[in-house]
Structure 1
Amino acid sequence: MVKRLPLTRLLSVFGAERSRIEATIQSRMKTAEAADVLQDTWLKLAQRGAEGAIDDPAAFVRSVARNTALDYLRKDRRRRSIDAEIRELLFDTEDELSPERILIGREAADMLAAAIDALPDQTRRVFLMNRFEGKTHREIAAELRISDSSVYYHIRRALEHLSGMRHHLPD
């Protein structure tokens, strides 16, 4: 029979390892992001518990924290890449502001507004909350009572739709 590690023991190990984990995470990211990763690690441990035998609970907790941090960094890298693409799409800094450029910009803005309006209701709502109201994925998920992965899905869906219309924008 496999002996299970009690959840309280696993979480107490997390508490004991917290400062070490936090220092490691903060060396790779901002303090606020590190706090989010620590919280997500705690939640993963609390939700998952210890299924099966764990020989070294401290190493297990550090491994969960490391994987959570890597997931966070990957998502952040993807998001920054998409944001850079959208900025490049919307803001052409090489041209002077001439009446012609202003008109072209207004036409592009109208096309983008129409594309956003064409999104499914939930996708549009999530996208606007994130990009125009500045809400985080977690805040949106809590407000709309959906999962973080659903928020990510809707934002990605909106960005793919907007990215796909790039070649239709006026030069």
Structure 2
Amino acid sequence: MAQINFNSIYTTYYRKAFLFTLSYVHNDQVAEDIVSEAIIHLWELSKEREIPSIEAILITYIRSKSLNYLKHIQAQENVYQTLLDKGQRELEIRISTLEACDPNEILSEELRAKVKTLLASMPEKTRIAFVRDRLDGKSHKEIAEELGISVKGVEYHITRAVKMLRDSLKDYAPFLFFFI
């Protein structure tokens, strides 16, 4: 059994095998590694048995290693694409949520809650006079009759409520016209 000379395999087949491998893997270092492994494999195999077709063994080995490499790259790309798609969906959700966010709506909800709390903390007659005037649209005379006080008393309570709201809600001044 004649062993094949490593140098003769290398000089005869390396360049063609490298270019063939590179045409599939598109990476010089990977192509070089695969071809070097293939030539070493072929040389070691020649120590054990006679090789009828060097090209067939070389191409079979290169094909197998190149396929393994490409499948590995494909799996990595699939994972990367999945992560990219997930990140893209998450980004789209954040963008659409922010676009749908209406600051006026959020602020007016916050302002309504503050006004409600302030109204609840007012003395009863002051609160009733303000609510009946500003929210229910009743006249001062109607409110006076309901509360059993004078019209001047109703005006006093409404003025007092407006002052309390104005003082407590000075940071919301542009929105106060909705309530006061």
Alignment TM class, shorter chain as reference: 0.3 to 0.5
Higher helix share: 2
Greater Rg over alpha carbons, structure: 2
**TM-score scaled by structure 2?**
0.38
**TM-score scaled by structure 1?**
0.40
